[in-house]
Amino acid sequence: MSGQDRLFIVTNDRVSPGRARLGGGLIWGSFALLVGVAAWQILGQTGRVADWGNWRPTLYAYCLWATCLCAAEVVRHGEQGKRRLFVMPAALFVGSMVFFPLVFGLGIAFSDWNLASPDGRRFNGFGNVVRMWSDPFYWNALGNMVWYVLAIVVEYAIALGLALLLNSQIRARKFFRVAFLLPLMLSPVAVSWMIGKSMMEARFGPISRVARWLGWDNPSFFGDPWLAKAVIMIMDAWTFIPFMMIMLLAGLQAIPRDIQEAARVDGANPWQNFWGVTFPLMLPVSLTAIMIRIIFKLKIADIIINVTSGGPGGATDSVTSFIFREYRDRSNVGYGTMLAFVYLVLIVIGFTLFIKLVSRWMRPQY
């Protein structure tokens, strides 16, 4: 047992040099096989050697290598290796699920690959980035995303108000908690059809009828660019405000009562109690809710695709709905993948900055 190892280890491993070599041989031997099979497959694709038809041999070689790697840990390190064996399969699986798609995704992103092209996939370096740079549809969609994300401020205010309401002693509180949660249980696709396509239908939709009754002669909820954008935001907000609300409600319920009671004893009125005590204490939960909501918002597509197809004139287009069109309608796999990667990078940078900026308020205050 190692003197520095504070864990109790049952066996005192004495790994012989031969055993260590065997472990190393297992790892490097299986790895060499994996490289060899993969190389054969790549050559097969180019027609230099017999093509196996699919990538299963490489997958099997990878699985063999992963198994050998796990086994070799025990062979080489004994008890310590067994400890690693507990996490190694999971780590390998997660790594595989991230690493391979990323590598293949990058390969596609740097390719000119239109599925209709008889030439298939062709490496084109930064060609897709150059194209993106001058693509007004992508920048328009990115610009729209800024507005969509900014709308979260309003959503947060509403969600916090509802959470405060549900946290107070009101009648039928349990009923309202369930009722306010209902929109979250609806699929955005259902919302887009039921509300956007039916209730807001310009001629017969009940909301349009109400609008006419209120004096709007020809109600058109998606005809004007800004109105269309706003209505899309409202439908999306209606679906997801309950999500923020429930998170904030949980945060409110976690605030110790004695802090607020102490403030009241000190003479704070309800507004001072909220602004000076509750709101600061809720900041960590609030920022977490906002961050998760931003992630949801950045993926907005279904409502837009169903209701406006990005129109009028691209006013409601989101990055995801634009990428969807590039992929589905135009089979432009290479360019679409690059757009998605750039979007991912922008999101990662944006989130890193955001977290850095708000980190001082993210720590629990009580």
Partner 1 sequence: MKVDHYRRLMAMQMSRRRMMQGAASLGALAAAGGGLGAGPASAEAHGDVRAEILKIPGVGMGSPTDADWQRVGELCLGATRENVAEGEFAGVELTFMGLNNQNLHNFLFRGFLKPWEAYTGAKINWIDLAQADYNARLQQSIATGTVDFDILEMGAPFEGDTAGRGLLDEMPDWVADQIDSDDLVGYLQPPVGTWDGKTYRVNIDGDCHTFAYRKDYFGPGGIGGETVPSTWQEINAASKALVGQTDPLTGLAAHGYLDPLKGWGGFGFYFIANRATAYVKHPDSPAWLFEPDTMKPMVNNPGWVQAIQDVMDLVDTTGAYPSDQINADPGTTAFQQFLAGTGSMLMWWGDVGSSARTSDTSVVGDVVGFGINPASERRYNAMTGEWEQERNEAPQMAYIGWGIYVTARVQGDEKKRKAAWSAAAHLGGKDIALWMSAYPSGFQPYRNSQFQYEEWEAAGYDRDYIEDYLGSNLDSYNHPNAAIEPRIPGIFQYYSVAEDELAKGFAGQYGSAQETADAIAAAWEEITDQIGRESQIALYKASLGM
For binding to partner 1 (CB under 8 A), which residues are involved?
A: 112-120, 137, 201-204, 218-223, 225, 228, 307-315, 325, 327-332
* Angle between helical axes of 136-167 and 173-185 (0-180°, round to 10): 160
Q: Which is nearer to partner 1, 79 or 135 (CB)?
A: 135
Q: Which two tokens stand for residue 191?
A: 């919302």
Q: Which is nearer to partner 1, 45 or 253 (CB)?
A: 45
Q: Which is nearer to partner 1, 113 or 240 (CB)?
A: 113
**DSSP symbols for 286-349:** HHHHHHHHHHHHHT--HHHHHHTTT-STTTT--HHHHHHIIIIIT-BHHHHHHHHHHHHHHHHH
| Residue 120 Cβ vs partner 1, minimum distance, rounded to whole Å | 7
| C-alpha to C-alpha distance for 271 and 277, rounded to whole angstroms | 10
| Residue 119 Cβ vs partner 1, minimum distance, rounded to whole Å | 6
The three-state secondary structure class of 46 is: coil
| Residue 122 Cβ vs partner 1, minimum distance, rounded to whole Å | 10
| Residue 25 Cβ vs partner 1, minimum distance, rounded to whole Å | 37
Sequence-distant (≥ 6) Cβ neighbours of residue 290 within 8 angstroms: 152, 156, 244
Q: Which is nearer to partner 1, 17 or 118 (CB)?
A: 118
DSSP 8-state class, residue 122? E
Q: Which is nearer to partner 1, 110 or 221 (CB)?
A: 221
Q: Which is nearer to partner 1, 116 or 153 (CB)?
A: 116
271: left (phi over 0), alpha (psi -120 to 50) or beta: alpha
| Residue 190 Cβ vs partner 1, minimum distance, rounded to whole Å | 14
| Residue 42 Cβ vs partner 1, minimum distance, rounded to whole Å | 16
Residues in the chain: 366
Q: Which is nearer to partner 1, 79 or 201 (CB)?
A: 201
Count the Cβ atoms, other than its own, within 10 Å of residue 236.
24
Which residue stretches of the chain are H helix?
17-45, 56-109, 127-133, 136-167, 173-185, 188-191, 206-213, 225-254, 257-265, 270-273, 279-298, 302-307, 319-324, 333-362
| Residue 137 Cβ vs partner 1, minimum distance, rounded to whole Å | 6
